[in-house]
Amino acid sequence: MKILTETKDLINIALGKRKSDLVVKNVNLVNVCSGEIYETDIAIARDLIVGLGRYEGRKEIEAKDKYAVPGLIDGHTHIEMSMLSVSEFARAIVPRGTTTVVADPHEIANVLGIDGIKSILEEAKTAPLKVFCTAPSCVPSTDPSLGLETQGARIGHEEIKKLIQIEGVIALAEVMNYGGVIAKEEEVWKKIEVAKDLNLPIDGHAPLLRGKELNAYVVSGVGSDHESVSYEEAQEKLRLGMYLMVREGSVAKNLKDIAPLLKSADTRNCMLVTDGDRTPLDLKEEGYLDHTLRKAIEEGVDPVKAVQMCTINPAQWFKLDDCLGSISPGKVADIVLLKNLERFEVEKVVVDGKISTDFAPHTEYRYRYPKYGESIRIKRVNPGDFEIKIKLERARKARLIGLIEGELLTEELVEEISGIDIARDILKIAVVERHHYSGNIGLGFVKGFGLKTGAVASSIAHDSHNIVVIGTNEADMAFACNRLHEIGGGIVLCRGCAVKSEMELPIAGLMTDKRLDYVAKKEKEIEAKISEMGGELRVPFITMSFLALPVIPELKITDKGLVDVEKRKIVDIFL
């Protein structure tokens, strides 16, 4: 981001002795510094706001009865989860009022390492969106010495030291290995110490962590959390001085339960975030952070506080408030003009002092990512690879991954089974290692997905992004995985060993360089086909993608097998 450092020549413009480049006239300013709404002019010169009051400009926008808010800042997201390139992601969200994101690129880092992070920042230079990155602290998400999963790359504390020297890397990303923090594991503490030595913000990730263990986590230096799912959990974290990030996405919807706290508490340390959890279809039809802000207002949160939680609050946490987060003199002129504040109806967006009417990237430009279309590295699999070796001559008690609608958390269910049982919605799930041709396949059972026939496989499987596949039979599971290899990554839905729908994601098996309209259409098609085949979840492939993340309780699965998250160990399917 270009920030003007020579401001002396702007003094006369701020004094009103010279005309501004652009003036927004007679607008209702939502002043996030003072918590007021009042009418004023906003004077802009070059890429900066130079004054509030009454000004004349060489170009003027009459904004009577309109509202001006700072460009929204998503304080915690994962761009890769949109399945879009950075350029297309920007085209989708900037016209809706989000002008800055703080992205944890650990999705692509788990596949491509530091080169993946550099690629995100490099492509961002061509987009109208300001993209800051946090240095991934958990690549992989668990301590490798525990042997819980196989990752494509590893970022240790020495790599963290290199990353934070890169322009645009501003914090240590969510420390998901909270168990490792509390157990004082050496490597995770070294990463924290690197950030503390440079006084960088340290983001957290502590689902359901409470009491003394939460105190210990905060003592380590972790200062924020986005995993709260209840009023009580959120209140405890806020009371301990943490920045509370309230997530509202396509799957994880935490706002309704936490909104009563946002209506009663001091919200200076609160933010609204997406956590990257917005499907392309929802991006197209509902919006991005603007949707989260609208939902907060619908839940009764004061509109000015809601705007603060998407602007000045994240700017202060990430130490960006010297240039971003408010409409005030000296700040970058990222301004959203609204027809209506409560409904957040965007009329115009100003980015770096310029009215943005066409957010298309340079048509001749397409950034080339490393290993494009070549990141799915698996041996050909066969139906027999998905057979559980213990003979099930009679029903046996087994651990099942129990899905919870609208949550990333899962339950550990124990039921008597004799294999796949479609009538009871007990399906087989597997994770196939896809980075090193190891042939590792973790097997288990899942309940709550709803398929009555066929299988679905995806190379999006947080955070190591091996292949996750759920099926009603082993033949379709094998076919879907092999098809993923052929298309270079993505999502495949099959039945009777024939493709019913698929979407190619050649960028690290996570993203595509196609336009939002195409991706949203394919998402809708895949979801419709899954529904036809019995799937009951609203966003099934996102829900499926989190079943391989061994840091969110209770029971998950990796290429090494079933993982008891709280005990941090591989457990048997059968008791």
| pLDDT tens digits along 232-288 | 999 999 999 999 999 998 888 999 999 999 999 999 999 999 999 899 999 999 999
535: exposed, middle or buried (C-beta count within 10 Å: 0-12, 13-18, 19+)? Answer: buried
Average pLDDT over every residue of 36-58:
97
Alpha helix (H) residue ranges in 439-536: 474-487, 516-532
Q: Which amino acid is at 179?
A: G
Using the predicted structure, report yes or no on whether residue 365 has a pLDDT greater than 90. no
Q: How confident is the model at residue 120 (pLDDT cuts 50, 70, 90)?
A: very high
Average pLDDT over every residue of 478-498:
97
Distance CA 176, CA 207 (A): 9
Predicted pLDDT at 551: 87
Q: How confident is the model at residue 542 (pLDDT cuts 50, 70, 90)?
A: confident
Using the predicted structure, report yes or no on whether residue 466 has a pLDDT greater than 90. yes
Predicted pLDDT at 358: 52
The alpha carbon dihedral of 106, 107, 110, 116 has a sign of: negative
49: exposed, middle or buried (C-beta count within 10 Å: 0-12, 13-18, 19+)? Answer: buried
Predicted pLDDT at 3: 43
Distance CA 250, CA 538 (A): 9
Q: How confident is the model at residue 6 (pLDDT cuts 50, 70, 90)?
A: low
Predicted pLDDT at 143: 83
Using the predicted structure, report yes or no on whether residue 389 has a pLDDT greater than 80. no
Q: How confident is the model at residue 495 (pLDDT cuts 50, 70, 90)?
A: very high
Q: How confident is the model at residue 408 (pLDDT cuts 50, 70, 90)?
A: confident
Predicted pLDDT at 363: 46
SS3 string, 46-100, reads: CCEEEEEECCCEEEEEECCCCEEEECEEEEEECHHHHCECHHHHHHHHHHHCEEE
Using the predicted structure, report yes or no on whether residue 500 has a pLDDT greater than 50. yes
219: exposed, middle or buried (C-beta count within 10 Å: 0-12, 13-18, 19+)? Answer: exposed
If we measure between CA atoms, which residue out of 168, 175, 164 comes closest to residue 139?
175
Using the predicted structure, report yes or no on whether residue 359 has a pLDDT greater than 80. no
Length of the chain: 575
Distance CA 376, CA 149 (A): 16
Find all residues with CB under 8 Å of 71, minimum gap 6, and list them. Answer: 97, 98, 99, 100, 311, 324, 334, 335, 336, 349, 351
User: Which of 169-173, 362-366, 440-444, 454-458 shows the lowest per-residue confidence on average (mean pLDDT)?
Assistant: 362-366
Task: State how far the alpha carbon of 521 is from the alpha carbons of 278, 280, 285, 373, 511, in Å.
Answer: 15, 9, 11, 21, 15
Distance CA 40, CA 183 (A): 54
Find all residues with CB under 8 Å of 367, minimum gap 6, and list them. Answer: 85, 86, 87, 119, 122, 123, 126, 513
| H or E stretch covering 357 | none
388: exposed, middle or buried (C-beta count within 10 Å: 0-12, 13-18, 19+)? Answer: middle
Using the predicted structure, report yes or no on whether residue 45 has a pLDDT greater than 90. yes
Helix axes 114-124, 86-93, angle to 10 degrees: 50
Structural contact between residues 360 and 91, judged by C-beta atoms closer than 8 angstroms:
yes
**Alpha carbon 13 to its chain's center:** 40
Using the predicted structure, report yes or no on whether residue 361 has a pLDDT greater than 50. no
Q: How far from each other are the two terminal CA atoms of the chain, in whole angstroms?
A: 55
Q: How confident is the model at residue 368 (pLDDT cuts 50, 70, 90)?
A: confident
Predicted pLDDT at 251: 81
Distance CA 376, CA 553 (A): 28
Average pLDDT over every residue of 8-20:
92
Predicted pLDDT at 121: 97
Predicted pLDDT at 149: 95
Q: What would the two tokens of residue 560 be?
A: 């090494």
- β-pair partners for 414: 399
Q: The whole model's pTM is what?
A: 0.92
Using the predicted structure, report yes or no on whether residue 83 has a pLDDT greater than 60. yes
Average pLDDT over every residue of 426-431:
98
Q: How confident is the model at residue 362 (pLDDT cuts 50, 70, 90)?
A: very low
If we measure between CA atoms, which residue out of 571, 565, 558, 568 comes closest to residue 466?
558
E strand intervals along 219-315: 224-225, 243-247, 270-273
Using the predicted structure, report yes or no on whether residue 69 has a pLDDT greater than 80. yes
What percentage of the chain exceeds 90 in pLDDT?
86
Task: Give domain limits for the chain.
Answer: 71-323, 383-387+394-571
Find all residues with CB under 8 Å of 433, minimum gap 6, and list them. Answer: 150, 378, 439, 440, 441, 466, 559
If we measure between CA atoms, which residue out of 529, 519, 376 comes closest to residue 458?
376
Question: pLDDT digits over 188-203, tens only?
Answer: 999 999 999 999 999 9
Average pLDDT over every residue of 87-103:
96
The alpha carbon dihedral of 435, 438, 442, 443 has a sign of: positive
Predicted pLDDT at 5: 46
Predicted pLDDT at 250: 85
Distance CA 547, CA 171 (A): 27
Adjacency order of strands within the sheet including 396-403: 410-417, 396-403, 441-447, 426-432, 467-471, 455-458, 490-495, 498-504
Which CATH fold topology does 71-323 show? TIM Barrel (3.20.20)
Using the predicted structure, report yes or no on whether residue 54 has a pLDDT greater than 70. yes
Distance CA 398, CA 551 (A): 21
Q: What is the mean pLDDT of the chain?
A: 94
Q: What would the two tokens of residue 124 be?
A: 């961002």
Predicted pLDDT at 564: 96
Q: What would the two tokens of residue 62 be?
A: 């009459």
Find all residues with CB under 8 Å of 165, minimum gap 6, and list them. Answer: none
For residue 38, the tally of other CB atoms under 10 A from its CB is 11
| C-alpha radius of gyration, the chain, whole number | 24
Average pLDDT over every residue of 44-66:
96
